[in-house]
């Protein structure tokens, strides 16, 4: 029960649903999009990104105990790699995963049973106390800078993963995936600048060789999945050769709180 008297559902699948009433008008990822995401991420093509995120985040944990919030955790894939990597470090990690999609959260709860998994809307006040989190991670998911700043402890960090210009460019047109507009990186930094300043930036390029089925999953698991029809996609991809060479281009940006250095 929250302070306003709402009670919340503890789903038998192992997560808490904190969406009240009809919830947000935002379009959550569907079950099909989530299934495509699970298949693609399990293929290991994005493992170098998961390892790079873990390498960026784990050293930010305080020595003894750390609290981590993965906002827009999706199926919990990156959080799993992060927790496994942190398992070898001395810090005890308490992790919260949140996402607006209950389909994603069912998967995340299965993969990360030790995590507090919450279905909620990042555009609403987050169900996390002020100054209580050491690191917020946001991997290809929406960002609410004022809420992230509120929940972070002084000295805490926000780690954001975004695609860079040219990401998956070789297959973007065929699949109807949305291209990355020029200037997007600057807009991200501008949008965060009232609360955060950039501490480090790491770019990661991952060459991929993808089977047609993997191209379809990659297209379907992202924002394009909301407006792509599966049959139309199959028709578009009918001409694909047995493998497509494509490059994934990522950026990992670590932000610290503006005016509150460690």
Ligand X SMILES: C[S@@+](CC[C@H](N)C(=O)[O-])C[C@H]1O[C@@H](n2cnc3c(N)ncnc32)[C@H](O)[C@@H]1O
Q: Report if residue 140 touches ligand X, rule: CB under 6 A.
A: yes
Q: Give the interface size with ligand X as a residue count (CB under 6 A).
A: 23
Q: How many angstroms separate the CA atoms of 209 and 140, rounded?
A: 22
Q: Report if residue 222 touches ligand X, rule: CB under 6 A.
A: yes
Q: Which lies closer to ligand X via its Cβ, residue 74 or residue 156?
A: 74
Task: Report whether 48 contacts 20 (CB < 8 A).
Answer: no
Out of 113, 125, 129, 142, the residue judged to bind ligand X by CB under 6 A:
142
Q: How many angstroms separate the CA atoms of 247 and 195, rounded?
A: 33
Q: Report if residue 50 touches ligand X, rule: CB under 6 A.
A: no
Q: Report if residue 147 touches ligand X, rule: CB under 6 A.
A: no
| Residue in 60, 49, 68 with CA at minimum distance from that of residue 140 | 49
User: To 10 degrees, what angle do helices 77-86 and 47-57 make?
Assistant: 50
Looking only at the bridges linking them, the beta strands covering 152-163 and 196-210 are unpaired
Q: Which stretch binds ligand X (CB under 6 A): 14-22, 120-128, 172-180, 201-209?
A: 120-128
Q: Report if residue 73 touches ligand X, rule: CB under 6 A.
A: yes
CA 35 to chain CA centroid, Å, is 16
Q: Report if residue 78 touches ligand X, rule: CB under 6 A.
A: yes
CB neighbour burial string for 182-209, b if at least 16 within 10 angstroms, e if fewer: eeebeebeeebeebbeeeeeeebebebe
Q: Report if residue 26 touches ligand X, rule: CB under 6 A.
A: yes
Out of 83, 86, 91, 100, the residue judged to bind ligand X by CB under 6 A:
100
Q: Which lies closer to ligand X via its Cβ, residue 123 or residue 230?
A: 123
Q: Report if residue 122 touches ligand X, rule: CB under 6 A.
A: yes
Nearest residue to ligand X by CB is 74
Out of 28, 118, 219, 228, the residue judged to bind ligand X by CB under 6 A:
28
Q: Report if residue 56 touches ligand X, rule: CB under 6 A.
A: no
Looking only at the bridges linking them, the beta strands covering 16-17 and 116-119 are parallel
Task: Report whether 77 contacts 142 (CB < 8 A).
Answer: no
Binding site for ligand X (CB under 6 A): 24, 26, 28-29, 37, 72-75, 77-78, 99-101, 104, 121-123, 139-142, 222
């Amino acid at each position: 029960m929250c302070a306003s008297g709402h009670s919340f559902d503890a789903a038998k699948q192992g997560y808490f649903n904190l969406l009240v009433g009809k919830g947000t008008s935002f379009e959550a990822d569907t079950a099909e999009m989530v299934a495509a995401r699970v298949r693609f991420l399990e293929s290991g093509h994005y493992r170098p990104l998961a390892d790079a995120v873990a390498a960026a985040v784990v050293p930010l944990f305080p020595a003894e105990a750390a609290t981590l919030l993965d906002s827009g955790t999706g199926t919990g894939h990156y959080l799993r790699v992060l927790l496994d990597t942190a398992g070898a470090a001395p810090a005890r990690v308490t992790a919260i995963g949140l996402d607006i999609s209950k389909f994603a959260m069912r998967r995340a709860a299965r993969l990360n049973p030790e995590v507090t998994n919450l279905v909620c809307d990042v555009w609403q006040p987050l169900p996390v106390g002020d100054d209580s989190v050491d690191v917020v991670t946001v991997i290809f998911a929406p960002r609410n800078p004022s809420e992230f700043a509120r929940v972070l402890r002084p000295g805490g960090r926000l780690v954001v993963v975004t695609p860079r210009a040219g990401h998956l460019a070789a297959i973007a047109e065929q699949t109807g995936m949305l291209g990355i507009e020029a200037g997007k990186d600057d807009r991200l930094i501008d949008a965060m600048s009232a609360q955060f300043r950039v501490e480090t930036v790491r770019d990661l390029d991952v060459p991929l060789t993808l089977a047609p089925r993997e191209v379809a999953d990659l297209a379907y698991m992202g924002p394009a999945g909301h407006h792509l029809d599966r049959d139309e996609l199959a028709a578009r991809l009918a001409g694909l050769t047995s493998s497509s060479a494509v490059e994934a281009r990522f950026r990992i940006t670590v932000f610290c709180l503006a005016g509150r250095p460690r």
